[in-house]
Structures are given as C-alpha cells and as structure tokens.
Amino acid sequence: MVKFVVCDDEREIADLVAEKLREFYPDECEIKCYTDGKILLEDSARELFDAFFLDIRMPTLDGFTLAEKIRADNPFAKIIFVTNHTELAHIGYLYGAFRYVRKFALEELREAVLSLKREFDLQSEFLLLKTPFGEVVADVNSIRYFEVKGHRVTAFFDDTEERVSGTLNEYEERLKNIGFIRIHKSFLVNFRFIESIGKTTVTLTDGTALLLSRNRVAETKRKMMIFSKI
C-alpha cells in the first residue's frame, strides 16, 4: 500500500493529481488531499506517507516550509512540487524534490507518477539474493540483519543464514527506505527485530546483541522512530 498526500489550496488541482495517482495505483494506494498545510503536518507527524505533492504558493504555510518540516519527520518521503511558479524550481531541489511539475501539465504529471511507481516497485517486499548455491528470493521482512566479515556478507534469518554476494553498502542503499538501519560498519539491521538500543549494542528480539557504533546511536534511534510508523 503506497500512501500519497496532495496539498494545494486549489481543490481543482488537488483532485486532478489524485485522479492521476488513482489511474496508476487503482488498487494499491491511499490518497489524502489537503488544502491546509497545518492539518497536513499534524497528520504526517502521526502517519508515515510515501510521497507528497505540494503546491509552493499557499497561504499560511508555503510548499517549501511544508517540505522542510516534512523532511524532519520523514527524510525518505518523495516530494513533488506542483506549481506554475517556474522561477522557483531551483529552490525546490534544495529540499530534495523528486520532481517539479507545472499545474495542468498532464504529461509532466504523468511522467512524475510513472517515475514514482518505478521507484516504489524497486522497493518491493522481496529481494533476490545470490548465494554460492544459486539465487534465493527472500521476503525482506524475514531478514533479521546482514553482517559483513572481510569481504563476505551474510544474511541472517530466523533459523538460517545465507552467504550472499554484493556489499553491505549496496544492501544499505537498496533497503534504507524500507526498514533497514546501518548500526555499525559491519551490521545492517531490520528495525522490526530490534528489541532495544543501548550505548554500544543493539539487542534483537531473540536476544542477539550486535555492536552499535557510538556515532550511529542518535541516527539509529531517529530511524527507529520513523520506521515505527510503518
């Protein structure tokens, strides 16, 4: 389920964007439309959304202010600015904008939605792992953590482990938006299995204790708060 937000003080624009989203996500998305940025922020603090379509020029809270505040709670969300103020496009990318779409430019909107769909499809719940014995399709929710020793990466499951090809950095990049946290140079952990976070270790639900880098403590806790909204 992909969760979208559309915020525009012009209801006609919000409805147009929502209609295009439903066209490409007929059975697998939830769309919330807002004309008030303050209400949007209240909801986004409680709920994790995947993408935000934001008008730039709005009363009370403009799109850039909204983007900055949204990023504080959800650094992984995709932000698309929808506006006719083309002279402000370069500013939008300072907020990590995924796309900039002119109002009523249907082809631009279509391209943005299709690009989003490709991005989200890449973040599916299944991961193809290459092992010494062949390829394995794994449910990412079943992977407890990855560990690297030397140049060997091992994926740990509930009752088994698999040596896999690739680097830990590659797995971190692939899985960083769907619940995996790099707690140490040697460990990439699925937040769903984290029981507690100490000063130097992360304890998993089965009692396994993994090393936690001091410089990653704050970031690990911050990401746990974000992912706990999933």
Q: Reduce the DSSP state of residue 151 to 3 states and report it.
A: coil
Helix (H) or strand (E) holding 43: helix 37-44
The CATH number that applies at residue 109 is 3.40.50.2300
Summary mean pLDDT of the chain: 88
Please check whether residue 220 is in contact with residue 202, taking contact to mean a CB–CB distance below 8 angstroms.
Answer: yes
Instruction: Let me know whether 66 and 133 are in one domain.
Output: no
Decide which of 128 and 190 is more confident: 190
Number of domains in the chain: 2
Residue 151 and residue 106 share a domain: no
The answer on 47 and 90 residing in a single domain is yes
Domain boundary among 122, 156, 179: 122
pLDDT confidence band for 123 (50 / 70 / 90): low
| Claim to verify: residue 116 and residue 163 sit in the same structural domain | no
Q: What is the torsional sign of CA 194, 165, 185, 216?
A: negative
What CATH number is attached to the domain comprising 156?
2.40.50.1020
Say whether both 89 and 137 belong to one domain. no
Tell me, what's the pLDDT at 124?
Answer: 60
When pLDDT is averaged across residues 60-89 and rounded to a whole number, the result is 85
Do 48 and 152 belong to one domain? no
Residue 48's pLDDT band (boundaries 50, 70, 90)? confident
User: pLDDT of 176-226, one tens digit each?
Assistant: 878 899 999 999 999 999 999 999 999 999 999 999 999 999 999 999 988
Is there a single domain that holds both residue 19 and residue 112?
yes
The domain of 77 spans: 2-122
Say what the pLDDT of residue 230 is.
Answer: 53
DSSP 60: S
Percent of the chain whose predicted confidence (pLDDT) is above 90 = 43
60-64 contact pairs (CB < 8 A, 24+): 60/36, 61/37, 62/37, 63/7, 63/92, 64/91, 64/92, 64/95
Same domain? 200 vs 168: yes
Same domain, 113 and 191: no
What pLDDT does 217 receive?
96
Say whether both 140 and 117 belong to one domain: no
What is the reported pLDDT for 162?
Answer: 93
Lowest mean pLDDT among 33-37, 127-131, 157-161, 180-184: 127-131
Minimum mean pLDDT among 9-18, 32-41, 211-220: which range? 9-18
Beta carbons of 81 and 101 less than 8 angstroms apart: yes
Domain final residue pick, 66, 88, 122: 122
| 178 and 165 both lie in a single domain | yes
Structure tokens at 204: 């998993």
Q: Predicted confidence band at 24 (pLDDT cuts at 50, 70, 90)?
A: confident
Say if CB 116 and CB 101 are below 8 A apart: no
Q: Identify which of 171, 173, 190 has the alpha carbon closest to the alpha carbon of residue 181.
A: 190
> What amino acid occupies position 51?
A
pLDDT in tens, 90-115: 777 777 889 888 888 888 888 988 88
% of the chain surpassing 70 pLDDT: 97
Q: Which of 106, 122, 138 is the last residue of a domain?
A: 122
- How confident is the model at residue 41, as a pLDDT? 92
Q: How many other β-carbons are positioned within 10 Å of the β-carbon of residue 217?
A: 16
Domain shared by 111 and 130, yes or no: no
